[in-house]
Amino acid sequence: MAAAMEPAIILVRPQMGENIGAAARAMLNFGLSDMRLVAPRDGWPNPRAVAMASGAAGRVLDRARVFATLAEAMADVDHAYATTARGRELTKPVLTPATAMADARERVAQGGRVAVIFGPERAGLENEDVARANAIITVPVNPDFPSLNLAQAVLLTGYEWAQDSLPPQPAPHGRRPVGEAPATRLEIERLADHWEERLAEAGFFFPPEKAPAMKLTLRNLWSRLPLTQGDTRIFHGMLRQLIRRG
């Protein structure tokens, strides 16, 4: 069973296996694993869901539990949020994904068990489903096209839930491989000189009045790349081979 410190994701009467699999992928993107299915239209397990889950997210499907009714799926839930884009006659707090998941984190911190309820793809949750929730989540999107598919809605919720655990910035790209020494300033200068000389011979810096700016741009490119000593040797070798074949 999934840890009590994460929201349960309840899919009510989901219609397509592909959407269940895509929702599983969205859940695992943000560390969620407690999927609950209420009366899936095509039964369970569903091979199309497994195919769409794409590898690692299959473990979310392996742990998914199936219930006949929403009430059964919510038996251990203290506070639930129903996702809907449509106005309702029901009087309930209406929250964005961000405010809802901030509220959910506070409730979980106090030992509560929370769930987010998603409706079937075609028409969403019925009023009878929404009535079982404590609050409504509505995404502030373009009012002329407010529809989100199931996986998109799950992804938004998962992202907002994970805000406290996500890094403040994306992981940097271009990290140097372990064990490879960085290129020295002299090695980068020699590499830049080598390419500049050969490009000049090939007539790359044209027209002449633009040559200084082009050379400056190219020099700046080399200096900002996180090159290793091995990288510089490869670039030198590439250029020599091109010259030989030319």
- 105 within 8 A of 164, measured Cβ to Cβ: yes
Residue-wise pLDDT tens digits, 127-154: 999 999 999 999 988 888 877 899 999 9
The residues spanned by each domain of the chain are 8-164, 185-245
Least confident of 8-12, 74-78, 242-246: 242-246
Fold of 8-164: Alpha/beta knot (3.40.1280)
Least confident of 16-25, 26-35, 136-145, 167-176: 167-176
How far is residue 45's CA from residue 66's CA, in Å, rounded to a whole number? 9
Q: Which residue from 203, 192, 201 is spatially nearest to 225, judged by alpha carbons?
A: 192
**Residues present in the chain in total:** 246
User: Looking at the predicted structure, is the pLDDT value of residue 165 above 90?
Assistant: no
Residue-wise pLDDT tens digits, 42-96: 999 999 999 998 778 889 999 999 999 999 999 999 999 999 876 667 788 999 9
**Greater model confidence, 166 or 198:** 198
**Greater model confidence, 172 or 37:** 37
Q: Is 225 exposed, middle or buried (0-12, 13-18, 19+ CB in 10 A)?
A: middle
8-state DSSP, 123: T
Residue 2 confidence class, pLDDT cut points 50, 70, 90: very low
Beta strands, E only, the chain: 8-12, 35-38, 65-67, 79-83, 94-95, 114-118, 135-137
Q: What value does the mean pLDDT take over residues 167-178? A: 60
